[in-house]
């Protein structure tokens, strides 16, 4: 009988097929002029823009393997710009001012607008959720980089946590789930290694309103790891930091993680420090300076923070997991989680469980002064 009840519960948590949705017309960059700040995928989708870039800055496109420049999402070309590629080149960066001026002269045609919006969706999944249990939405839409093993491992870990704690968890890769009528049903939304610009303007508005009105957000690893980003509120206000890079020699290293506040509910049951092997993100700004409460930091003396072409990624004070209030809501972000094995590490699993409990708390978050 217990097995039958379990099967019924699982069935209730599976989203029914979404109803037919109209084509997306409010994607964020639909009408933006071509430029060196455009997602490279949008340039590649226009024959004139592609020809121009190949003629004037084709060397930059050769910095990365051809597979990075697919025009079918998810694609790395959706999280890169020509400006970002030039910055990655370092001291030998190409002067792109002439290219930028020439790109801006290319008209944005109706076909360009359709192509730009094609990687977004308005599909609204139908969820049947049980009453009386904390409800979690695991969001997995990617238009940029998708690392299948890490996404799958994180999903399995969150599903195991939900089963162990009696949480109702559903999974979707549809941006249309970010609507007021769907979001209000959930205590927290988990972004599982989300990469690329994935929400339309109306979906962005609904997601922000949900958080500021008292909702919860948990983001892991790639959900703040794009080289180029196109939603300022998400990166500057919600996350409070932008990705700078990660080590490349080697990419995965052992490093020491230390708790910042042992009394925080997010630190409950965690050791004061532990060592993990992962891909360690650095950021262009310290989230501590934008009012975040730091949960854990990375000891840079225990690994080599050197990125592509010798780029120095040392931050000094190096937060790796943090939280903040977002209006009446709560957010938690952890940069840990590229290697699938990290989602089976007991301290990290405990940290993520703590984060779900804290972000899903119904009482309004109390904002602390910026330090």
267 in Cβ contact with 354 (< 8 Å): yes
At 310 the pLDDT is 79
**What's the pLDDT band for 21 if we cut at 50, 70, 90?**
low
Query: DSSP assignment of 201-237, as one string?
Result: HHHHHHHHHHHHTT-EEEEEGGGG--SS---HIIIII
Q: Is the pLDDT of residue 54 over 90?
A: yes
| Locus of tokens 């790796």 | 320
In this structure, the strands spanning 168-172 and 135-139 are: parallel
What pLDDT was estimated at residue 89?
Answer: 77
Task: Yes or no: say if 183 and 128 are a contact pair by the CB < 8 Å rule.
Answer: no
Q: What is the mean pLDDT of residues 220-233?
A: 96
Q: What is the pLDDT of residue 249?
A: 86
**At residue 8, does pLDDT exceed 60?**
no
How far lies 190's CA from each of 215, 231, 270, 308, in Å?
Answer: 11, 18, 21, 30
- Is the torsion defined by CA of 285, 289, 293, 297 positive or negative? positive
Report the range of poorest mean pLDDT among 74-88, 166-180, 304-318, 337-351.
304-318
| Inter-axis angle of helices 97-104 and 47-61, nearest 10 | 170
- For residues 26-45, give the mean pLDDT: 97
Compute the average pLDDT of residues 75-102. 88
First CA to last CA distance, the chain? 55
β-bridge mates for residue 294, sequence order: 322
Cβ atoms of residues 52 and 18 within 8 Å: no
- Under the banding of pLDDT at 50, 70 and 90, the label for residue 197 is very high
Report the share of the chain in percent with pLDDT over 70. Answer: 91
| 103-116 average pLDDT score | 98
pLDDT score recorded for residue 315: 95
- Put simply, whether the predicted model's pTM sits higher than 0.85 gets the answer yes
Contact status, residue 66 vs residue 25, Cβ threshold 8 Å:
no
């Amino acid at each position: 009988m217990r097995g039958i009840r379990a099967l019924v519960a699982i069935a209730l948590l599976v989203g029914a097929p979404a109803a037919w949705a109209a084509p997306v017309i409010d994607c964020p960059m639909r009408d933006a002029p071509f430029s060196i700040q455009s997602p490279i995928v949008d340039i590649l989708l226009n024959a004139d823009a592609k020809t121009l870039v190949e003629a004037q800055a084709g060397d930059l496109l050769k910095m990365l393997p051809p597979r990075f420049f697919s025009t079918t999402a998810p694609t790395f070309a959706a999280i890169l710009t020509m400006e970002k590629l030039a910055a990655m080149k370092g001291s030998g960066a190409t002067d792109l001012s002439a290219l930028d001026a020439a790109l801006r002269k290319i008209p944005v045609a109706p076909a360009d607008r359709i192509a730009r919006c094609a990687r977004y969706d308005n599909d609204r999944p139908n969820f049947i959720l049980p009453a009386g249990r904390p409800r979690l939405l695991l969001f997995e839409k990617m238009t940029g980089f998708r690392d299948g093993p890490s996404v799958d491992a994180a999903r399995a870990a969150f599903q195991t946590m939900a089963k162990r704690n009696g949480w109702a968890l559903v999974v979707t890769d549809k941006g249309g789930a970010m609507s007021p009528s769907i979001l209000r049903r959930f205590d927290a939304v988990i972004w599982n290694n989300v990469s690329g610009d994935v929400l339309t303007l109306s979906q962005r508005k609904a997601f922000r309103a949900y958080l500021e009105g008292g909702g919860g957000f948990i983001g892991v690893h790639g959900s703040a790891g794009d080289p180029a980003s196109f939603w300022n509120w998400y990166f500057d206000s919600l996350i409070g930091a932008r990705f700078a890079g990660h080590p490349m020699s080697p990419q995965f290293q052992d490093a020491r993680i230390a708790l910042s506040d042992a009394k925080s509910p997010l630190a409950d049951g965690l050791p004061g420090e532990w060592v993990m092997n992962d891909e360690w993100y650095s950021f262009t700004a310290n989230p501590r300076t934008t009012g975040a409460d730091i949960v854990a930091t990375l000891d840079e003396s225990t690994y080599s923070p050197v990125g592509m072409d010798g780029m120095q990624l040392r931050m000094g004070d190096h937060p790796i997991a943090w939280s903040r209030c977002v209006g009446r809501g709560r957010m938690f972000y952890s940069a840990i989680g590229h290697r699938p094995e990290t989602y089976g590490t007991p301290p990290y699993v405990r940290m993520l469980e703590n984060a779900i409990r804290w972000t899903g708390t119904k009482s309004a978050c109390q904002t602390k002064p910026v330090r």
